Each structure stands twice: as C-alpha cells, then as structure tokens.
Structure 1
Amino acid sequence: MDEAWGYIAEWSPELAFAALETLKLTFLSFVVAAILGVPICALRVSEVRGIRYFAASFIEIVRGLPILVLLFLLYFGLPAILPSLRWSSVACAVIGFGLQGGVQLAEIYRAGLGAIDRGEREAALALGLTPLQRLLHVSVPQAFNVSLPPTGNYLVGLLKDTSIASIIAAPELMLRAKDLSSASFMPMPIYIFVALIYFVMSYPLSVALQRAERRMARA
C-alpha cells in the first residue's frame, strides 16, 4: 500500500494536467453544443412543416447514435472517404460531443419555449412588441429558467462522458490513466485515484448549478 501511495504521489502532476485537458475538452464541447442547439431548435419549432420534420429527423438520427460510433465515424471513417478532412483526436472529440450535445440541448431549448404560457405570448403581441422583442424579453428569460436544470445535468454528464474520447487517443484524464496503468501494472490504485479526481471535478459543478437554480427560482 505504501508503494502504491508513493506511485500516486509521483503520478499526481501528470494526472492533474490530464484533468485540466478533460475540463478543456468539456468546456469546448459544451460551447459547440450550446451554439448548435440554437439553430437546431429554431428549425425544430419552425412553422414550415418540411423544415420541422427535417430537424426532427436529424435530431433523432444523431441522438440515436452512440457517441463512440460517432467518434469512430469522425476519426476513422471520414478520413477514409475524404482524406483532406483528417482532424486531430481532440477536434473529433469536440465535434462529436458538440454535435450530439447540440441536438440534446435543442430539445431542452424547445421544451423551455413550449413551457411558456400561450397567453403571455399573446399579451406581448397585444402590447405592440415585435416578434423579436417578444422572443428576447418574454420567451427567452422564462425558457432559460426552465432549461437551466436539464442543461446543468447535461453538462455534468458531459464531463464524465469525455472519458470515452480516450478510445480515439484524445489526451484526457482516462487516456493518461490507462497509460500509467499499463506501465506500472497497478490498475486498481490508479483508477480509484482517477475516480476521486472525476468526483472532485463534477461535485463542485453540481453544487454550483444547484445554487444557480435556487437563485433563479427566488428571482
């Protein structure tokens, strides 16, 4: 046991750096997902039936793919068809997680907009607000309150799901743990320590999101 603790002390700087890479991957993927979710949601609630059906089909296809399959398609499959589109493992991970997260957030946004009472929208129009003003000053603030809890849950889940990116050699925490495990033949202490690191990263995020939800509820 003393030997294991000695190794953990030696590996801590490497695992700490890998944890920072995991946080960076999570942040970039979330930004891509949050940005993509807006136009996908707009297409999903379009008044044009064809556009609405196309968006719904796209959401179901992307959401139905396991993230591992999506990463393999981007990292291995796409370059086989178009060699010029050979991206790094980090870029493929950000695009893959961002794309799948985008369709999930689009549905969350849509649910938030759908939760607004129709009478409030009609009252905004009766007051002379333009559709854009109604969207910015009436719909979006209320939809944000409704969408915050599921968006927070998605973010916490994304932090843990980034470990899957180790399959395509993205330099994150789980990949470094696998390398150290193979080199030391001591997988149990390493993976227990890595589990603690994931908890240390995810728990404060969960607490911060819960506090934000309570503040929004009081407001």
Structure 2
Amino acid sequence: MMHTFLGILAALAMGVATVVQVTLGAFLIACVLGLALAVLRVFGRHRLPLWLLSIYVEWMRNVPALAHLFLLYFGLAAVGVRLSPLCAAVTGLGLVGAAVLCDVFAAGLRSLHMGQREAALAVGLAPGQVLRFVLVPQMLRVTFPSLTNYAVVLIKDTSIASAIAAPEIMFLARNLVTSTFETVLIYLAAMLLYAALVWPVTWGFRRIELRMEGVR
C-alpha cells in the first residue's frame, strides 16, 4: 500500500510545476492590474471610467472563474485565437484576481489619512512618487493579511485549470483514477501536495508580515 501511494505521489508531483507557474503568473497579473484599478477607483474623477471599472469588478467577481477560463480557452478558439491551457489559466485567474484585489487595495488606500498625500504633494513630490513612496507601502502593510489569503486561495483555485487540460495536479489525478481506479489514494495524494504547497507560502507571507511590523 505504501509503495503504491508513493508511486502515485511521484506521478502527481509532475503537476506541481504547472501549479507554481499558474499561481505566480496569475498572482503577478492580479497584483499589478488590481493596484492600477484600485488607484483609479480611489483617485479617479471621471464618471465613465469609474462606471466601466465597477462593471468589470462586479462581472469578474460574480461569474465563476471556470466560466472565464472556458471563454478564454474555448471561446477565443472559436474565433481563431488559440491560447495554450497554461496561458488561458494564468490570464483567466489573473483577471479574476485583479477584480478581487482591486477592492482590497482600494479599501487599504481609503484607510490612509489623505492629508499625507496633500502634504507630499505640497513638498514637491509628483503624484506617481506619492503613490510609490508614501501611499502604496502603507497600503500594503494594511492589506497584507488579505493578500496572503488571496495567495492561498489562488493556489487551490489552480485546480480548476484541469477543466481546460492544463497538466496540473488535479488533471493528472483525474487521468490516473480512470486508469488505476485507486480513487482514495490518488485524491489523498493530491490533497497532500496542495497542502505541501500552501504551507510554505503561508509561512513565508507570515514572516514577511512580521518583518513589516518590526517583529523578528
């Protein structure tokens, strides 16, 4: 039994690289785009862009992520644009994550005293410098726990990429089940691999958070 389980674990471990790639790519897109959208939401003054932003955020949050992946992978292929499963997964999860982090970052920016922004502008800093050196570092300190939770959820959400044939852990597990029928052992091994990925991420983010708080 143990020999069989270790063999299954080794077979599924080949999907870990895909999980890591999808997670890193989607996380980068979500953070960069989410921050840009949050700045627009907090400091934007024109009604049309803010209205379009609200539609985007609500649409991406309220529609299942799997539907977005299907649209990118199958929908675009129908009009001649073919994305690889990995590219579709990274893009889809990243765009959904941007909508989630937009609200997180916007709440963090709103929690800061805006007098800091006015004071920084008064001493000659450009608006971009105010964001980079004054507001964003403080916002990240406030929102870091939410960012940690998002990273953990994203790792687990990569499992839906199996629906578009991305060779991640659950895709390999499903194929292995159909050929060996070792359902319990296979899905237990998959669960252990996801837990093994999530734990160091949680630990690492926690260490960063403690350092940001000045705790060693």
CA contact (8 A) 2:60 2:99 kept: yes
What TM-score do the two structures reach when normalised by structure 1?
0.91
Partner of residue 25, structure 1: 22
1:9 aligns with 2:3: no
**Offset, 1:58:** 1.2
**d(CA) in 2 for partners of 1:205 and 1:98?**
18
CA contact (8 A) 2:9 2:190 kept: no
Partner of residue 61, structure 1: 59
Q: Which amino acid in the other structure matches residue 132 of structure 2?
A: L
What's the secondary structure of 2:213's corresponding residue? helix
Match of 2:32 among 32, 35, 41: 35
**d(CA) in 2 for partners of 1:73 and 1:31?**
21
CA contact (8 A) 1:44 1:53 kept: no
**d(CA) in 1 for partners of 2:21 and 2:125?**
41
1:110 aligns with 2:106: yes
* Structure 2: gaps (5+ residues): none
**Offset, 1:78:** 2.3
Matches within 5 A, 1:39-50: 39-45=36-42, 46-50=44-48
1:126 aligns with 2:122: yes
What's the secondary structure of 1:170's corresponding residue? coil
1:96 aligns with 2:92: yes
**d(CA) in 1 for partners of 2:116 and 2:41?**
21
How many positions carry a matched residue from both structures?
Answer: 214
After superposition, what is the alpha-carbon deviation per residue over 1:7-30, rounded to whole angstroms, capped at 9, x for unaligned?
Answer: 222233321221122112111111
1:73 aligns with 2:99: no
Matches within 5 A, 1:55-204: 55-80=53-78, 82-83=79-80, 85-204=81-200
What TM-score do the two structures reach when normalised by structure 2?
0.92
**Offset, 1:95:** 1.0
Q: Which amino acid in the other structure matches residue 62 of structure 1?
A: M
Mark the CA change 1:76 to 1:130 in structure 2 (over 3 Å): closer, same or farther.
Answer: closer
CA contact (8 A) 1:37 1:104 kept: yes
**d(CA) in 2 for partners of 1:119 and 1:211?**
31
Identity rate of aligned residues, in percent? Answer: 39
* Structure 1: gaps (5+ residues): none
CA contact (8 A) 2:38 2:102 kept: yes
